[in-house]
A and B are shown apart, each in its own frame.
Chain A
Amino acid sequence: MAEFEVTALGAGRYRVSDGTRQRLAYAAGPPHARWVFIDGHVYVIDVSGNRDSHTRRAHDDDMALASPMPATVASIHVSEGQAVSQGDLLVMLEAMKMELPIKAPRNGIVKAVACARGELVQPGVPLVELD
């Protein structure tokens, strides 16, 4: 990777230079989800560097198995003990007149279903647990 010189300019602004060409960048957010803007593009980068693979997997599961926003559970497509493959539809949510499928992020066994049909669910809370 090329070496970049980064200078903090204050108020979330950074100058990033490769020695020849420089650009203005912006950054904000906590280390595990650092938002960076460069040239019209936004990236969310985890720079916390303190996660082992096991917690990372649990973390990724939680992300994939939770609703991204307040939503209503339209239907549940799996039950406890059921084997699922990556991409299988687990729960269908409904928010802002849109259907929002929650799919299995990996192969596994359904350990628990933590929501009920018609329930209003909040973001960040896993709706299904995978073993």
Chain B
Amino acid sequence: MFRRLLIANRGEIAVRIIRACRELGVESVAVYSDADARALHVALADRVVRIGAAAPLHSYLSTDAILGAARESGAEAVHPGYGFLAESHTFAAACTDAGLTFVGPPAHVIARLGSKIAARQAATRAGIPVVPGETPADQRDVTIADAARRIGFPVLIKPSEGGGGIGMKTVRDAASLPAAIAQARREAAAAFGDGTLYVERLIERPRHVEVQVLLDRHGHAVHLFERECSLQRRHQKIVEEAPSTALTPRLRARMGDAAVTLARSAGYLNAGTVEFLLEGAGDTARFYFLEMNTRLQVEHPVTELTTGVDIVRAQIAIAAGEPLPWSQDDLTQRGHAIEARVYAEDPSRNDLPQAGSLLLYREPTMPGVRVDSGVVEGSDISVHYDPLIAKLIAWADTREGARARAIAALRSYPVLGVRTNIAFLIALLEHPAFVSGDIDTGLVESQRAALLTSATGDPPPEAIAVATHASGSAGPLDSASSTSADPWTTLQGWRG
């Protein structure tokens, strides 16, 4: 096992990895930007190294700064978390060249699977169905439009490099093509420095179901079953669960086998996720390979709670050369887990990210509830980074039990000083479509108005009574609050 491991990330995932290190007896090294000097991950790590200015390019995205920190701290391994450099094959290669163990797959595998084109080819070679689509070699508007007509409407136009839904456009007819192509190209170039576009058939009412895999250096490969990630806003997941209500045991086994086959054939190592689009439900459903995420996923806890496997710990053990301690037959899914992502954002203003200080922040503690977070009361939510504050994960023996627990926990989760999507998440978990399990990737957007109505509203009389009563004392952070008035003076007018 490693003596010391550097975490090239911040926020809740850095905290999550530090905790795994502590259990393994591995010293943790946190890196931080100027904006994060007082952040939770910096407080918890065994050693800390400042790596640069707040802007990610000068800190969490700077390979030089992070490798320098690894050298300075004497780390033997680097865990990239998710986001930032986690899917950068050049970063993985630079770690290896510097004599560090990269906790993830080999650089050349990241490079191959990171390209949608090469990943699809790998899937096709492994006999796994893919959604019809292509990246026209000739990238002129007219050729891309031809490809769209050949594939058949509706189509999705998206950046060849990239993910997270950035630059992704749905086009339902030829007339809307030119505007969509221009916009997708502009966003692709801005976000990824590469305007190359990819066109594919849009599967209507699809589910997004992904399979977690683990592969060690000794030729062992297992999957940890599926995660249902259909609830997304702006193509970003907000609620995930395991197992999926759409899978039968037979379909689950087929998808699990497909994921392991693909990972093996790609020479994959360590934890990875194979994403599928699912059309229909039950034994007759069809699944299509979407992409492989060559890193830890944000939503990994729902798999941990239903399989009992600590995925982060497994990642570190695999990187250290240890064999997987289980075979596929040892692994089972037990009960049901639901994760709700708590974001600093205002759902009534198009999910606009929010910044400010957490005047009051109390995480719920109750049986079957886990909160993975990177903040404490008094933390600043910065404009520089992803607005994810925490993930609340509820487990119970049944889906309905997990749903009730998640709602009860969210109702006991006060976050004041920065607007969050907590009320929106409650509305989503209470929506009849979620209750019945009949969900698809378009649900959140199609139901947005109804969800907002139930998540927002004028203060009830008891809230006004509390606000009035509290006037004498401005809360636990009164003295801090009087010095920097910005967050709430700007936020006050934001009730939509």
- Residue A51 lies at the interface, judged by CB distance under 8 Å to chain B: no
* Pairwise interchain contact B466-A14, C-beta atoms closer than 8 A: yes
* Pairwise interchain contact B413-A40, C-beta atoms closer than 8 A: yes
- Nearest Cβ on chain A to B192's Cβ, whole angstroms: 11
* Pairwise interchain contact B467-A45, C-beta atoms closer than 8 A: yes
* Pairwise interchain contact B383-A69, C-beta atoms closer than 8 A: yes
Total number of B residues with any Cβ neighbor in A under 8 Å: 59
Total number of A residues with any Cβ neighbor in B under 8 Å: 48
Closest to B454 in A: A41
* Pairwise interchain contact B481-A29, C-beta atoms closer than 8 A: yes
- Nearest Cβ on chain A to B494's Cβ, whole angstroms: 7
- Residue A109 lies at the interface, judged by CB distance under 8 Å to chain B: no
Known contacts A28-B475, A98-B352, A124-B486; decide if A34 and B413 are in contact (CB<8 Å). no
Contacts of A28 in B (CB 8 A): 359-360, 416-417, 470, 474-477, 481
Near B by CB (< 8 A), chain A positions 21-75 give 23, 25-47, 60, 63-64, 66, 68-70
Closest to B167 in A: A97
Contacts of B166 in A (CB 8 A): 97
* Pairwise interchain contact B493-A60, C-beta atoms closer than 8 A: yes
Near A by CB (< 8 A), chain B positions 417-474 give 417, 419-420, 422-423, 426, 455, 457, 459-471, 473-474
A18 CA to B463 CA, complexed, in Å: 12
| Extra 14 A-B pairs, beta carbons < 8 Å, given A16-B466, A28-B359, A42-B420 | A6-B468, A6-B469, A28-B477, A29-B416, A31-B471, A33-B489, A34-B470, A40-B410, A40-B423, A40-B426, A41-B455, A44-B491, A47-B471, A124-B490
For this complex, 21 residue pairs linking A to B, each with C-beta atoms less than 8 Å apart, are: A6-B465, A27-B360, A28-B417, A31-B474, A34-B474, A35-B416, A35-B488, A38-B460, A40-B426, A44-B492, A44-B494, A46-B492, A47-B471, A60-B493, A68-B490, A69-B490, A95-B353, A96-B383, A97-B166, A98-B352, A123-B486
Chain B residues engaging chain A, CB cutoff 8 angstroms: 166, 187, 190-191, 350, 352-355, 359-360, 362, 383, 407, 410-417, 419-420, 422-423, 426, 455, 457, 459-471, 473-477, 481-482, 485-486, 488-495
